[in-house]
Amino acid sequence: MIKAGIIGATGYAGSELIRLLMGHKNVEIKWYGSKSYKDKRYYEVYQNFFHFTDDKCLDDNLNKLSDEVDVIFTATPQGFCSSQINEEILSKTKVIDLSADFRIKDVDIYEEWYGINHENPKFIDEAVYGLCEINRDKIKNARLIANPGCYPTCTILSIYPLLKEGLIDINNIIVDAKSGVTGAGRSAKTDNLFCEVSENIKAYGLTNHRHTPEIEEQLSYAAGQNLIINFTPHLIPMNRGILITAYSSLIKETSYEDLKNIYKKYYKNEKFIRLLDDDIFPQTKWVQGSNFVDINFKIDKRTNRIIIIGAMDNLVKGAAGQAIQNMNIMFGLEEHEGLYNVPMFP
């Protein structure tokens, strides 16, 4: 059995990690880390875990935890993992970090967009960007995984094949994204109160959302040259889910069938990417609670543009599910173990 510890276990991503890991036949949870709820039983924080665990929340001592587990998940705010990680910890256990601390390879860009100093840049080069469908071979032997952000996961996977094949204009990519409220975390914030969110939709982070450089960096690797995008996220009055609509110009006239074959070339063997049928477009309700990403596109011949749509659950494929998928790869397990479930509906 793989012994796992979760730091930040009482956030939304942390609780989703625990829900999924409890259904994983190869994992035993040894540490429910939560500084805010230390010594409280986990089910007292999340009543849905009543009768599933009597364990109490512990502190966030990574050095002690690394002696007791095989893998540590850090579902923590930016800055925590980078301030705690060290060679001793990585020599004893694997770390999968759900924050942005090790996602961006240029530390200056990280500090500019996140507004904090990076306390451990020496591990940035070693950290593997854990987008499983693209970096699987690098993930296998990694000690430190930078689990991708939710918006970046949906955006990158939706656009990646077209950039790899050089089929769209890299200077003309626009991404319109929408997310449920859990994407903002569990901390109390006025903007996330029911009366603020209900019956409303709003754009935020215009021109400066901190996932922008992460998306640009990874899409630049796919394109083989640096690119810049327009990325605008929106908050939707629903609990979970992400829908991205991306627009770009086609380099040359191409049929739907030819483009669909390109997507199949990259994703036909991927269990968690579902390429939808012609004129069936992704919806968040069909991926809820699952690790799936649904993708499809439409060619607008009138404007010679392609419209690409992707949908996924921000807490699963956008956080906890992808982290477990990374863990499965790192420990040589079936990649879909503990994750291959039918999405919830309604």
Q: Which pLDDT tens digit goes with each residue over 70-111?
A: 999 999 999 999 999 999 999 999 999 999 999 999 999 999
Q: Is the pLDDT of residue 331 over 90?
A: yes
Q: Residue 213 in contact with residue 156, Cβ under 8 Å?
A: no
C-alpha dihedral sign at 294, 127, 178, 240: positive
How far apart (Å, rounded) are the C-alpha atoms in residues 260 and 302? 20
Which superfamily does 151-314 belong to? Dihydrodipicolinate Reductase; domain 2 (3.30.360.10)
Q: Is the pLDDT of residue 342 over 90?
A: yes
The residue to which tokens 């990690």 are assigned: 17
Catalytic residue status for 195? no
**Which of these, 210, 203, 177, 186, lies nearest to 308 by C-alpha position?**
177
How far apart (Å, rounded) are the C-alpha atoms in residues 133 and 118? 28
What residues does each domain of the chain span? Answer: 2-126, 151-314
Q: What is the DSSP letter of 250?
A: B
Q: What is the DSSP letter of 69?
A: -
Q: Residue 218 in contact with residue 103, Cβ under 8 Å?
A: no
User: 346 preceded by cis ω (within 30°)?
Assistant: yes
Q: Can you give the pLDDT at residue 192?
A: 85
C-alpha dihedral sign at 107, 109, 110, 112: positive
Q: Residue 150 in contact with residue 321, Cβ under 8 Å?
A: no
How far apart (Å, rounded) are the C-alpha atoms in residues 178 and 232? 9
Tell me the pLDDT tens digit for each residue of 306-322.
999 999 999 999 999 99
How confident is the model over 289-302, as a mean pLDDT? 97
DSSP bridge pairs for 4: 29, 71
User: In the numeric block, which tokens belong to residue 162?
Assistant: 């077209």
How far apart (Å, rounded) are the C-alpha atoms in residues 129 and 118? 17
3-class state of residue 133 by DSSP:
helix
3-class state of residue 341 by DSSP:
coil
* Residues near 244 by beta carbon (within 8 Å), at least 6 away in sequence: 151, 154, 155, 158, 175, 176, 177, 178, 308, 309, 310, 311
What pLDDT band is residue 188 in, cutting at 50, 70 and 90? confident
Q: Do domains 2-126 and 151-314 have the same CATH topology?
A: no
How confident is the model over 324-330, as a mean pLDDT? 98
- Taking phi first (over 0 means left), then psi (-120 to 50 degrees means alpha), and beta for anything else, what does residue 94 get? beta
**Which of these, 129, 120, 124, lies nearest to 106 by C-alpha position?**
124
Q: Is the pLDDT of residue 250 over 90?
A: yes
Q: Can you give the pLDDT at residue 71?
A: 98
3-class state of residue 337 by DSSP:
coil
The verdict on domain 2-126 having CATH code 3.40.50.720 is: yes
Catalytic-role residue among 57, 81, 132, 150 = 150
